[in-house]
Structure 1
Amino acid sequence: MHLRFIHVVWMSLANQQLVPSLDAISSFGWMYHSLSICTVKGVLGCMSIGVGHSGLVFSACSMGNGTSRLYSALAKTLNSSAASQHPEYLVSPDPEQLEPIDPKELLEECRAVLHTRPPRFQRDFVDLRTDCPSSHPPIRVMQWNILAQALGEGKDNFVQCPVEALKWEERKCLILEEILAYQPDILCLQEVDHYFDTFQPLLSRLGYQGTFFPKPWSPCLDVEHNNGPDGCALFFLQNRFKLVNSANIRLTAMTLKTNQVAIAQTLECKESSRQFCIAVTHLKARTGWERFRSAQGCDLLQNLQNITQGAKIPLIVCGDFNAEPTEEVYKHFASSSLNLNSAYKLLSADGQSEPPYTTWKIRTSGECRHTLDYIWYSKHALSVRSALDLLTEEQIGPNRLPSFNYPSDHLSLVCDFSFNEEPDGLL
């Protein structure tokens, strides 16, 4: 059979992850420039997607003697969902059909892949409790821009980062190792361009339910041999939370729809029956776009105001805001009627200062050291029990990020939250 290999463009509608048919791609507004081989990689293997006379074809390939039982099971599951002759859509695998993974086993596999690399950086949690322990376990939230693979290899120009450090086969294991080490209940990610082939199938087998919302015009699509558009992803543990409602938000600025997105979900804690809203976003990057980011932030706040019924529902907002604390968008969040506080300010001596950096890299334009990532929370309804300390300059090293030790140019932020037993008033 003659196969024409193509890049497959993914999109997400509410909680359904769908793949447009070839004829439908243009109608959804996706730009695609070239035909080339598309390889979907699992933890320790890869899968090719091609289009032939009988429709979409999947083929699994080994990566040598290290092929794992976990990947073999995953590849078998994906192969079993081969499309019919004229598919309109290809639906992602049903998580309920995938066997659960033991987190320890997956962590061991990741470390086996990474055995030639330096050990992962060690970070400690800082205890921030000021009152009596809560009667329910805390809610651990991780915020992380994981660096889109296509951007890391093709556009971001990390001049001090060896090309070998960016290999997806190993970098994805570093990302998974970080997630497995801190075991978040909720995971908020940006720059995700391997949702369907890596994070959704693996994290679902760890008990997470996931949602992905890609950028309408992702810069990843301009990179040769890309894996589709990048976007925001939100995962939560199904044994702890029940999904009440979910909204995918395309942010606007000056009434115009933009290329930036957000996901907002209302969850109910199964232990306490308390509800809260969790949101993830990624605002416009680059100097000179401050007013644009400010408008996007105002639009997001208005959406969250409606979703939380005017702050009646507690709120946590995670994101790469691409904005320093001096920018207007930061000030909008800090002064919002939603009564938000930035969790990582609590690590400072006075409790009022953001960390000196959440991203540190060296590009062709020079060294970039900025605070851009935040976890906002309803201070009248939630308390921060602890927060993961940041890497020191000594740990990061002279070549900065990403590196053989760390997979992204942004640091992960992790906080433990608990509900206030008697929520404070908004005034």
Structure 2
Amino acid sequence: MLSSGPMAQAEPGQEGALDLEPCAPEELQRECEEVLRNRPPRIQRSFVSPGGSAHQPHPVRLMQWNILAQALGEGRDSFVRCPLEALKWAERKYLILEEILRYRPDVLCLQEVDHYHDTFQPMLGSLGYHGTFCPKPSSPCLGVEHNNGPDGCALFFRRERFLLEDSASMRLAATMFKSNQVAVVQTLRCRATGRSLCVAVTHLKALSGWEHLRAAQGSDLLQYLQAASEGRPGLPLLVGGDLNAEPDEEVYQRFAASGLGLDSAYKQLSPDGLAEPPYTTWKIRPSGESCHTLDYVWYSRRGLRVHALLELPTAEQIGPDRLPSYSYPSDHLSLVCDFSFLDPPQGPDQG
């Protein structure tokens, strides 16, 4: 499928509407295995149930992942310990697909997507996903020779699991002007339970020195989510994002204290449930080794319960040359969480 010729593209605003021939996940997995047969074994990760949570019916699985824009990986990011051959799109796209197929999320939040129309929309569309893509207005990918267009955020959900109630793509504002960062926000209704939830994906400004801009961008998204929740008491929220911010930064604190009742799911991997993981990205550039926690899954603690989390690999599993590598396609680790709905609040609109 992925080695075939050019694929049809959706018209802008109709990304999820292509009439695609269905494809079995097992078929694509076999294709991945064949293409990647000479690659080293992939990193093996297990799910952890915080507090020994019992299995719940109809869990919602969300994957959050900055997949590394192809133009940046090959052209600008300078991963000095990663062989250029490991970054070639012809095989790297299969590593990305294999990771998604391994966990089969119901909701998929992706950042740095620069092969949406020719790869991810047709590929995931054939697996039954509805996709929405919001490109950055001035993507850094456009400054790379032989680029594939702008990168941006993409939000996918499984059609057999959810109905789309509402959708918005937004350019985040900061201190009265539009910035280059974006978000996609959608309200979905679960077919199995009849419950609704609001899901967002975003990617905030990178690099040191832009902390105030990130805080303003985060506030803009939070204000939008607050407005989307008005008139829907108890509507649960899920936000997958690369905030480009450590937990001690202002934007993280704004999410934690927003009034929306948000909590960070991956804190539940820590012994006391209070600390974030030690890293979600680990790479080596000419300036040195970079190991940070920048990626998060935020959820409504009054509307959702965390049942399982995909553990993060150890330093030994990642290897001395860090990420990306022949066995892992991005400089960011995927985060995968299973949630269940809590009992809805009493009232005329139980969301």
SS across alignment from 2:248? coil
Asked whether the equivalents of residues 196 and 235 of structure 2 are also in contact (C-alpha less than 8 Å), the reply is yes
Aligned position for 2:3: 44
Which amino acid is 1:323 matched to?
A
| Cα distance in 1, alignment partners of residues 190 and 318 from structure 2 | 37
Measured at CA, do residues 132 and 156 of structure 1 come closer, stay the same or move farther in structure 2, by a change above 3 Å? closer
Alignment match of 1:334 (pick from 256, 263, 268) = 256
User: Is the contact made by 1:305 and 1:311 (CA closer than 8 Å) also made in structure 2?
Assistant: no
> Structure 2: 5+ residue runs without aligned partners?
347-351
SS in 2 for 1:97: coil
AA in 2 matched with 1:203: L
The 5 Å alignment of 1:244-323 reads: 244-309=165-230, 312-323=234-245
Q: Is the Cα–Cα contact under 8 Å of residues 247 and 293 in structure 2 kept in the other structure?
A: yes
Where do 1:231-250 residues align within 5 Å? 231-250=152-171
The alpha carbon displacement at 1:421 in A equals 2.2
Match of 1:348 in 2: 270
1:128 aligns with 2:46: no
Contact 1:92 1:196 in 2 (8 A): no
Change (3 A) 1:90 1:323: closer
1:185-219, CA deviations, whole angstroms, 9 ceiling, x for partnerless residues?
Answer: 00000000000000000101100000000000000
Closer/same/farther in 2, CA of residues 318 and 91 from structure 1, 3 Å limit: closer
Summarize deviations over 1:149-201 as a string: whole Å, max 9, x none.
00000010100000000000100000000000000000000000000000000
Q: Give CA deviations for 1:402-422 in whole Å, capped at 9, x if unaligned.
A: 000000000000000000125
Verify the 8 A CA contact 2:16 2:132 in the aligned structure 1: no
Residue 115 in structure 1 maps to residue 37 in structure 2: yes
Task: State the one-letter code of the partner of 2:271.
Answer: A
- Quote the offset at 1:99 in angstroms: 1.2
Q: Could you tell me how far 1:43 is from its partner in structure 2?
A: 1.2
1:167 aligns with 2:88: yes
Tell me the distance in 2 between the aligned counterparts of 1:333 and 1:90: 31
Find the aligned partners of 2:295 and 2:15 in 1 and give their Cα distance: 32
Q: Radius of gyration: which is bigger?
A: 1
Native 8 Å contact 1:95 1:201 kept in 2: no
Query: Quick check: 1:93–1:201 contact (8 Å CA) kept in 2?
Result: no
Q: Secondary structure at the match of 1:104?
A: helix
Contact 2:234-2:345 at 8 Å conserved across structures: no
Please give the residue correspondences for 1:11-410 in structure 2 after superposition, counting only pairs within 5 Å: 43-47=2-6, 75=7, 78=8, 97-128=19-50, 133-134=55-56, 136-309=57-230, 312-410=234-332
- Distance in 2, Cα, partners of 1:111 & 1:245: 37
Letter in 1 for 2:2: V
Q: 1:311 to 1:152 in 2, by over 3 A?
A: farther
> Cα deviations across residues 60-104 of structure 1 (Å, max 9, x unaligned)?
xxxxxxxxxxxxxxx5xx39x9xxxxxxx7898885532110100
Secondary structure of 2:74's aligned partner? helix
RMSD: 1.9
Amino acid at match of 1:420: L
Aligned partners of 1:95 and 1:205 also within 8 Å: no
SS in 1 for 2:336: strand
Provide the C-alpha distance between the structure 1 equivalents of 2:161 and 2:327, rounded to a whole number of angstroms: 31
Q: 8 Å contact 2:234–2:303 — kept in the other structure? A: no
Cα gap change, 1:384 to 1:376, in 2 (>3 Å): same
- TM-score, normalization: structure 2? 0.94
SS in 1 for 2:316: helix
What is the TM-score with the length of structure 1 in the denominator?
A: 0.78
Q: Which amino acid aligns with 2:114?
A: D
Unpaired segments of 5 or more residues in structure 1?
Answer: 1-41, 48-74, 82-88
After superposition, give the CA deviation of every residue in 1:218-263 in whole Å (9 maximum; x if it has no partner).
0000000000000000000000100000011110110110000000
Q: Deviations over 1:99-136 (max 9, x none)?
A: 110100101101111111012111000012566653x3
**2:234 and 2:344 in contact (8 A); partners too:** no
What is the identity percentage for the equivalent residue pairs of Structure 1 and Structure 2? 62
**Corresponding pairs, count:** 345
Residue 284 of structure 1 aligns to a residue whose secondary structure is: coil
Amino acid paired to 2:182 = V
